[in-house]
């Protein structure tokens, strides 16, 4: 059975490509999903890639991951800085959790410096643009292999 990884994307990431390209780059979320599908296949991982603009839906997906996923990669977008509910849901997930951001949030506005997700993440990848998604999958493959 291949290991399954959920890769969850938060609000406004559906607009990648046109959204502040000087910060987030020109690739669309569809481009990133295709790249992730290829990278996951190279690692023999089954990938479930999703995006939502709704906090509650993301919480429900994290709860679903408890039964359906071995590892969780999440770019919670703006909810990173606001969501106790996402932190609480992640606390209940037993596998590795990678927090992922396209931008280096520490180089940006002060309100982006605090993350509710980092204290419950195995590790954080930020500042590498879309490439960070591939790095996160590489790291997840290693973590899941080590856990065997
Ligand atoms: C982001 C950083 C967040 O501060 C922001 O709200 C986003 C995207 C990133 O990937 O760089 O929507 O998570």
Nearest to 141 by CA among 17, 2, 1: 2
For a substitution probing ligand 1, which of 101, 110, 132, 135 has the most ligand atoms within 8 Å of its CB? 101
Span from the CA of 77 to the centroid of ligand 1 (angstroms)? 4
5-15 confidence digits (pLDDT tens): 999 999 999 99
pLDDT tens digits, one per residue of 21-53: 988 889 999 999 999 999 999 999 999 999 999
Residue 60 is predicted with a pLDDT of 98
- Residue of the CA atom closest to atom 7 of ligand 1: 77
114 catalytic? Reply is no
Q: Two tokens at 98?
A: 């990678």
CATH number of 3-147: 3.40.50.9100
Q: What is the pLDDT at residue 147? A: 87
Q: Which atom of ligand 1 is nearest to the CA of 13?
A: 12
Report pTM.
Answer: 0.97
Q: What confidence tens digit (pLDDT) does each residue in 74-99 have?
A: 999 999 999 999 999 999 999 999 99
Domain ranges of the chain: 3-147
- Rounded distance, CA 56 to CA 105, Å? 23
């Amino acid at each position: 059975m291949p290991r399954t990884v959920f890769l969850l994307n938060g609000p406004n990431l559906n607009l990648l490509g046109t959204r502040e390209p000087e910060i987030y780059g020109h690739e669309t979320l569809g481009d990133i999903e295709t790249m992730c599908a290829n990278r996951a296949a190279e690692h023999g991982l089954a990938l479930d890639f999703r995006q939502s603009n709704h906090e509650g839906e993301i919480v429900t997906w994290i709860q679903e991951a408890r039964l359906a996923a071995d590892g969780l990669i999440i770019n919670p977008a703006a909810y990173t800085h606001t969501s106790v509910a996402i932190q609480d849901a992640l606390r209940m997930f037993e596998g590795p959790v990678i927090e992922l951001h396209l931008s280096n949030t520490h180089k940006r506005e002060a309100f982006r410096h605090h993350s509710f997700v980092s204290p419950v993440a195995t590790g954080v990848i930020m500042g590498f643009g879309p490439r960070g998604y591939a790095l996160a999958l590489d790291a997840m493959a290693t973590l899941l292999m080590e856990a065997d």
